[in-house]
Amino acid sequence: MPDLAEAERILHARVGPAVRVGFPIAPLTTFRLGGPAALFVDAQGDEELAAVREAADATDIPVAVIGKGSNMLVSDDGFPGIVVRLGRGFRWAGRDGDRLSAGGAMPLPAMAGVAMRHRLSGLEFGVAIPASLGGAVKMNAGAHGRSMSDVVDRMEVFPLTGSGPRRSLASSEAGFAYRRSQLPDDSIVVGATVRLQPGTDDEIRAHMEEARRWRRRTQPLAEPNCGSVFKNPDGDHAARLIESAGAKGLRVGGARVSEKHANFIVAETGATASDVWELIQQVRARVEHHAGIRLETEVERMGAVGDADD
C-alpha cells in the first residue's frame, strides 16, 4: 500500500522547504479546475528530483508532473501522490551557434522570443503554444504545421522512478509521433536543445506576429480552457468534425464547447473536472455517430478522471 506519511517524511528530510502538503494545483492549470495534490514539490535542481524518486520508490506513491498546466485536467478529488513541477532553477536559456538550449521550465513562447533575439528562425510556432519546454517536448507539441520534433536536437531526461542520473537523448531516441513521444511516463524532461537556422529580424517577427494574431482570432483566450481537446485525425480536423456533428455550444454543467473554436472546451464558473470529462465523452460519441471517427484526446488526466481505457 502506498504510504503517504512516509513519503512526506522522506521529502521533508531531504528537501524540506520545497515540499507542500495538500497543495492546490487548480491555479497551476489553464482550466483552473481540480482538487489538491497530496504532496507537491517545486524542484529547483536534480536534488529535489532525486528526493521525489526516493520517496516514490520507497512508498509506491504515484508521481505526476505539471508544467504550465495547459493540456491537463485534474480530478475533482485531486492527486493522491506527489506532483512535481520544475522551478526557477530549470528556467534558463543559452545559445551555441545555430543551437538554442533551455531548461525544462522555460515557457515555449519565451524560448521563441530568445531565438528571435539571436536571429534564429524555426521556433516561431512556439509563440502560440502556452507550454513549458519540457512538456512541449514530451508531448511533441505543435502549431501551424510544425512540431517540436522538427527542431529538437537533444533532450535531458531525469527518471522519477528506479535509479540512474539524468540522461541525454538524441531526438531520434524519443520516438516522436503526432502529439506524443515514447519518452517514459515516469520521467521528466529537464532540458532540451533545438537546432534552428539564421533568419532576419523582420521575417522572424512577422511569423511570430501572425501566430499571435491567429491565436487571438481563433481561440477563446479569455475563458479557462486547456487548449485543443482532441487530436486531428489523419486528413481532417477535429474542430470541423465536432461542428459538423452539431456539438458546437454543447454543454454539461459548467463546461461548454466553445462557439469560437469547436475543439476547445471552456470552463465557466462552477464547472468541475467531471463536467469537462462528461462533455468530452458526449462530443466524442456525437462525432463517432455522425462521421464514424473516434476522436483521440490530447488532454492529460491527473488523478481519477474517467476510466483508464477512455
pLDDT tens string for the chain (310 positions)?
679 999 999 999 999 989 999 999 999 999 999 999 999 999 999 999 999 999 999 999 999 999 999 999 999 999 999 999 999 999 999 999 999 999 999 999 999 999 999 999 999 999 999 999 999 999 999 988 899 999 999 999 999 988 778 999 999 999 999 999 999 888 999 999 999 999 999 999 999 999 999 999 999 999 999 999 999 999 999 999 999 999 999 999 999 999 999 999 999 999 999 999 999 999 999 999 999 999 999 999 999 987 655 6
Distance CA 81, CA 35 (A): 12
Cβ contacts of residue 72 below 8 Å, gap of 6+? Answer: 29, 30, 31, 66, 226, 299, 300, 301, 302
Whether 310 is in a domain gets the answer no
| 61 and 145 in a common domain | no
Domain with 296, as residue range(s), is: 220-302
CA pair distance 158, 103, nearest whole angstrom: 12
232 vs 293: CA distance, rounded Å:
11
Q: From CA 228, how far away is CA 145, in angstroms rounded? A: 15
Q: Say yes or no: 212 and 225 in one domain.
A: no
Would residue 307 count as lying in a domain? no
**Catalytically annotated residues:** 179, 228, 298
Of the candidates 8, 86, 73, the residue with the CA atom closest to the CA atom of residue 47: 86
* Intra-chain end-to-end CA distance of the chain, in Å: 26
Count of domains forming the chain: 3
Could you give the angle at the alpha carbon of 268 between the alpha carbons of 31 and 212, nearest 5°? Answer: 55
Output the pTM of the full model: 0.92
Q: Flag whether 308 is in a domain.
A: no
**Which of 62, 86, 110 marks a domain boundary?**
86
Residue 152 and residue 65 in one domain: no
